Structure formats: C-alpha cells, structure tokens
Amino acid sequence: MPSQREFARRRRQLMQTMGPGAVAILPAAPERRRSRDIFHSYRQDSDFWYLTGFDEPSAVAVIAPGRAHGEYILFCRDKDAHHEAWDGPRAGPEGACAAFGADDAFPIDDLNDILPGLLEGRERIYYAMGRHRDFDQRLLAWVNLLKDKGEGGHEAHQIVALDHVLQDMRCYKSREEIRALRSAAAVSVEAHLRAMRACRPGMMEYEIEAELLHTFRRHGLEAAYPSIVAGGPNACTLHYIHNRAPLKDGDLLLIDAGCEYELYASDISRTFPVNGRFSREQQALYELVLASQDAAFETLRPGAGWNDAHARVIEVITQGLVDLGILEGHPDELVASEAYRPYFMHRTGHWLGLDVHDVGEYRVDGHWRQLEAGMVLTVEPGIYINADCSAVDARWRGIGIRIEDDVLITSEGHELLSVGLPRSAREVEAEMSGARAA
C-alpha cells in the first residue's frame, strides 16, 4: 500500500488546485449486491482510494482547505463488535485518524448533522456529480438547506467537477504508483507464462483461466478485469469472457488478462498456438501484429502525440494486409478510407493506472495530447478475421490475434513494464516447446 505520506501529498496537491473557499467531497464506493444477501468482493472507488487509501464502504471523505480543526475529515462506520464478528474489523473514527491520516473523523451516521456545517462559507464544492446518484440528492439537499438559511451569496456553493481535476493528477504516476504498476505487471507476466506452458489441445478455455487465477491468488491479488481466454474464432470477439469452449489442435489462443496490485492494474495480451506451433497463415498475421507494435514503440517518448502510435500501427497493418493479399489497393488510400477497420477496429491503447481504462484526456484543446514522463499506457494492436468473413480467402478466416503490453513514458523514452513475456513467434514456440519437454 502507498505510504500515508503519498496520500497526504495528493491531498495537498488537490487543495492547491482548489484554492481557498472550496471543499471537496468524495463518497466511497457502495457495496454491490450479487444475489439476494450475497455481495461482490468489495472494491473501493478509485478516486476515493487515490486520496485516502481507505478501503471500507459507507465512508465519505471531505477535504476542506484552511479548516482550523483539520483539512482532511473522514466519515466512516463506527466500531461494532457484532458486525465485525461477521464481516471483519473496522477502522472506526479513531483508526481513521491513527492509521489513515485523517485530521478529524466522525461516525458515518452523523453525516447529516455535521457535513452541512463543513459547507458553510465555501463558494465551490468539488464533487463528481452523477457517479453516486443517491449521494447526489443528499448533497443537493444540504446545499438547498444552506441557501434557505441564507448562507453565502448568489454565487455560493458552485459545484465543480472533481473528477476532471483528479483525472489530470492521476495521469502522472508517482514513484510509488510506478512501483505498484511494475508489481502488477510482473505477476501478470508470471500468470501468462503459466497459462502458456499449461496449454494443450483438448483443454477447456476455463482451465487456462484457472491457471491465470491461480497465479493471481497465490500472490494475494485479484484480477483487474474478467480474463479473456479465447480459442480459435472466439478471439475475434473483442470482449469474449465466456471461456467455456474446448481448445482445438491447430487453433490459436488469445489471452487478455491482468491483476491488480494495491488497486493498480496490469493489462496484458498474448496470442499463441494451442499445439505449440504456428501455421504459415497464423505466423504471417502474428508477425504483422508484432511489427506494428514495434513500430508503435518507436513513437513512445515525451513530446510525441497520443495518436502517433496508433497512426503507425494503422500504416504497418494496412501495408501488411496488402502484402498478404487480404486488402487490395494503394496503402495510403486504404488508410484514408479506413479499409483496415473490418480487421482492426479498436484503438492501439489506453491510459493505465487505478482503472484498467484509466482516466485522462486523450485530446487537449482539440489536439492530441502530448506524452509526458510519468504517463502509463497500453500498446495493443491486433488483427481479427471472423470465421464467416467471405471477403478473404478461407485460409485466413477465424484467426484473431492481439499483442498487448504496458508501457511507462520516461524522460528518455519509454520502459516496458510487462517485460519477460515471449513476443516473437520463435520465442513463443520455444517457450511452449520447453514446457512440453519438461
């Protein structure tokens, strides 16, 4: 877990942005019901965690610059021996101060009595309206109560989008965040290697998924998102998560899986032959996807535009599809007409952090954002040719390939976080051959 010094630094940075006369309010994520009286495993709201490190539900954080009795106030559940016997220990208000750095803490049941007073004299309320619908109504009721009392003036209690402020902060990763992202990537690499070595024709997709989850849980971690384990034509469904089909000799297996370390995500994809050997067509498409990823890597450095990597991937994939006879025409014209889109329909990457698809603008003032040191993103080109795609020769059909890695932008260029996984077709075959020999 990041140090309390790290969370305090983030809160100070936010308060500097907010300025005097402002207050920020962040509700914790609610518990999510799975069925009847069973709940999903709890996962804290990313913005709430980013500023507090507090991992319990039924909590509200308030950040009030200049408050005499403390600028960071946390409302949380009281200690309760009966409930803790069933659901585990709670920090309680005392623990919120002692273990989580709160300047002041109160029972969550006192929120209605205390929080309106924290809004008094504040012109701006930083809050992510629309994310927690029930809490939206409570906040508006408190604001209206203060208006009825005549607190402030006509401009009092302007609600400012807190999420827009935090998404820019979260886009630049600190040393502690980068450490967590490296750890998530390292465990995910280990999981992908285990799955690759275990794979055999006749296994089920869910058996390979079990190999991934085994590694995550062995390190005490959770999957960052539902794992994609897609054999053969299933790989052409981008968000395939059924994972219930048999793995056939001669097919490819696409795995898109990653874990969370201290809530920081990894997101890695590999595609490899179920029987350990690529066919000629599979290898041709695989090497094309790999070449496009290598071309994308060459663009990743401070000052480059966000879209530069995607533009290079499109150029390489389009040229390669022409060379293979899958597309016909001049590559420049095919790029302009987006003729590649039936076979490569998604972007080349996304921001990565506390969320798998992390927050952060991709355009600023109508222009592609420039990359800067401390940003973390994925690079994930792919080619997908559906089994029923009559526009191409039958030998190409039913092949889906994606290669995805996690990358940190550094002051000198970039660093591959998901290092250690085979990338070339030869490396993949050697890894699988070695596993079979063992």
Q: Which are the catalytic amino acids? A: 37, 239, 256, 267, 346, 350, 357, 380, 384, 402, 404
Contacts within 8 Å (CB) and 24+ apart, 392-397 = 392/326, 393/325, 393/326, 395/281, 396/281, 396/285, 396/324, 396/326, 397/233
- Which phi and psi angles does 68 have, rounded to 5°? -65, -35
CA gap 390, 49 in Å, rounded: 49
Helix (H, G, I), strand (E, B) or coil at 87: helix
Using an 8 Å Cβ cutoff, are 193 and 208 in contact?
no
**What per-residue string of b and e applies to 71-83 under the rule 16 or more CB within 10 Å gives b?**
bbbbbbbeeeeee
Beta strands in 262-342 (DSSP E): 264-265, 268-273
Q: Could you write out the DSSP letters of every residue in 377-433?
A: EEE--EEEE-TT-TTS-GGGTTEEEE-BEEEEE-SSSEEESSTTS--SHHHHHHHHH
- Chain centroid to Cα 142, Å, comes to 34
CA gap 308, 386 in Å, rounded: 28
Please report, as a single letter, which amino acid is at residue 339. A
CA gap 375, 297 in Å, rounded: 14
Q: Which helix (H) or strand (E) holds 286?
A: helix 280-297
